[in-house]
A and B are shown apart, each in its own frame.
Chain A
Amino acid sequence: MSHETPPTPGLVSSLVRGYMPFVVAVGVAIVMQVVVRPNVDPYPAKLLLDIGINCILAVSLTMVNGFTGQFSMGHAGFMAVGGYASGAITYYTSMRVWGAGEARGGVLSGMLGGEGLPWLTVGDGLFLFSLIVGGVVAAGLGYLVGLPSLRLKGDYLAIVTLGFGEIVRVVIQQTSPVLTSAEEVRQATILQLPTHVGGSLGFSGIPYYTGLFWVYLGVCVTLIVAFRLKTSTFGRAFLSIRNDEIAAEAMGVNTTRYKVWAFVIAAFFAGIAGGLFSHTLGVGLSPEAAGFLRSFDVIIMVVLGGLGSISGAVAAAIIVTLLPEWLRGVAEYRMIIYALALILIMIFRPKGLFGVREVWDRATWAWLSRRKSGTGARGGARE
């Protein structure tokens, strides 16, 4: 941390600095789609998609469990709600407008050997809109689920959020079968459509729009938001709640407000991840997506990466997605190995990979140098 204040930048330069990362995000997403995608096989491409979606989930959950220290175990519930909401929007809008549920244009149409329309065609616009609506619906639920966090602490909140995920799952199970003919869709009212999302059979027929472009755009935006929050006065307010709620409140941090905010923001991105997930080729969106097993997966990523560490969550999302693949050779034992690894990490590296810090913080690696040189570590730089 340098003490001298840098010269005040002009309006233009500060605007550029403010938006630049978003421009870079689009660039990264294009590279993923145009350069990476054509050069990998479908299977690794699917893995890249999974990694991206898991990154969004893990980084968003980091904002609740890592920043504010509230223990949410219902993250999959938000993801499922977002997935169903955006899936219902694209599917039923397509049915109404075009009379068929398939994708119109879209990043994927080129990949599938379709007509190869330019990128932002009507279909992709619809998809983007549905993603955002899915995120907003999930965020609304996040607000509702965040409210109990005002009264409940620790494990109690954990179990309530877990119960929330289960309720979402059961409610989705109760929905009616998907309407498959354009005729039926035209006859149904707008309010009826959301209740026809397949019940326990799952929601099939959602158009495939998700491509590396969208997923990595989502990843980058999530990362920018998470990182900028963490390094702002709001992020520090979040972290203070996790460290000591009573002290935070005494220092003027409106703990209730920020706890709910953390839930809302995290749920929004989980909803986006859900939308990306539900529009992926070869994915069956079913009520199980809201189940606790999926939530556990995300929690494991967050804790493995180090509670509060964004880069840690990303690293852990990659590891957790790939680990079962690496262990494919010992298929029968892979979950056992996975479970053992989890237990051993908790015992021998209880702060996860990076603790609350980021990979590039010097203090993260201080323990390494301490071990080598036997001297105490210097204070790590921040930011």
Chain B
Amino acid sequence: MDQFLQTLMGALAIGSLYALIALGYTMVYGILKFINFAHSDVVVLGAWGSLVFARWAERTAGWSQTPWYLGGVVLIAAMVLCGTVGFLVERLAYKPLRRAPRINVLITAIGVSLFLQNTGQLEAVFGTRPASIPRLVGDRTIAQIGLVKIEMLDVVGLFTALSFMLGLDWLVFRTKIGRAMRAVSFNPQTAGLMGVPVDRVISFTFVLGSMLAATGGFLWALKYSQVNQPADTGWTLLGLKAFVAAVVGGIGNVRGAMLGGLAIGLLEQFGSAYLSSSLSDVYVFSLLIVVLLFRPSGILGSTAVEKV
């Protein structure tokens, strides 16, 4: 029972991270119909940006104790940074390819990903050594059920992730810009004819997705004491799993991405705890293949039959 609760706690924590990142994939896929391979690198940027900024702030201010609001400030800084980069990437690399075959866009995305990775790896930027972020959230156990400890860190992370997701859900389904996003996702041409500013909506989507990625990166850096170097394959794998979450939930579907993220988190954590931890990637990709074979549009997605 204790192990079960502990695993559940871990699954929720990691699942909400996957969900946050999956949202970025799903929104871009929903609108432009391609896998934005560079998304995981924006997550990296979020993690490293937070790390560098937090260190710089601590050094210059010389606090004896980290103020409670620093975490929020760092997160906002990371979101601004990632949002800007996301905006630029879309404008400079993807926009010229609006009419190109999808495979070109996919290759470009791989190119952007390589570019961000290797730029991040430069000594003048983040370097190639792992580093760790200063403690921004108190290292406390806030509750204990049996042997299971509920950490402050996990609660803050889960809370942040959930509130961002609820915010996004509200934005997509309750606001004017959300309606425009859904219209463009449904059919860009028609949306354009109806007066929706398609380019602006796409930019907005990228910025939004990148900000969520920044949040994911930030929380990741907080959760794991060691942040790996930007070109570490672990990051790409993280991105892939988040993408799998998006596909499993139903690509293009915002609520599906959240559901998929949690599903992947649960599968991975319980698989690791009860079966074998070294095979956790295998579970994730096997789930992907099974879902795609039996329900190709994902859990919440709707099938579209090609009209002839």
Contact = CB atoms under 8 A, between A and B. Distances in A.
Contact of A160 (B97, B113, B117, B289): B289
A163 B288 contact: yes
B278 A170 contact: yes
Nearest to B246: A159
A34 to B, nearest CB: 39
Interface residues of A, number: 41
B134 interface: no
Contacts of B104: 303, 346, 350
A163 B107 CA distance: 18
A338 B114 contact: yes
A342 B278 contact: no
B114 A162 contact: no
A174 B279 contact: yes
B247 A159 contact: yes
A336 B289 contact: no
Contacts of A158: 35, 106
B195 interface: no
A263 interface: no
Nearest to A347: B96
Given A170-B278, A339-B118, A350-B104, A163 B112 contact: no
Contact of B115 (A148, A307, A339, A346): A339
B193 interface: no
B131 interface: no
Interface stretch (B51-59, B180-188, B236-244): B236-244
Contact of B110 (A164, A166, A342): A342
Contact of B306 (A65, A152, A174, A246): A246
Given A156-B292, A307-B103, A347-B108, A163 B244 contact: yes
A291 B108 contact: no
Interface residues of B, number: 48
Contact of A163 (B105, B233, B289): B289
A347 B293 contact: no
A343 interface: yes
A170 to B, nearest CB: 5
Say whether chain B's binding surface is mostly helix, strand, loop, or mixed. Answer: helix
Interface string A272-312: 00000000000000000001110010011001000100000
Interface in B84-102: 93, 96-97, 100-102
B118 A162 contact: no
A335 B236 CA distance: 17
A332 B121 CA distance: 9
A300 B278 contact: no
Contacts of A174: 278-279
Contact of B111 (A71, A154, A339): A339
A204 interface: no
A120 interface: no
Contact of B293 (A148, A166, A167, A299): A148
A171 B119 contact: no
Which residue, of B233, B278, B288, has the highest number of chain A Cβ atoms within 10 A? B288
Contact of A336 (B33, B118, B244, B278): B118
Contacts of B170: none
A3 interface: no
Contact of B244 (A148, A159, A335): A159
10 contacts: A148-B293, A159-B35, A159-B292, A163-B244, A163-B284, A333-B122, A335-B114, A338-B114, A339-B112, A343-B111
Given A292-B240, A339-B113, A343-B112, 10 more contacts: A155-B33, A164-B289, A166-B240, A166-B281, A167-B286, A246-B308, A342-B108, A342-B114, A347-B96, A350-B101
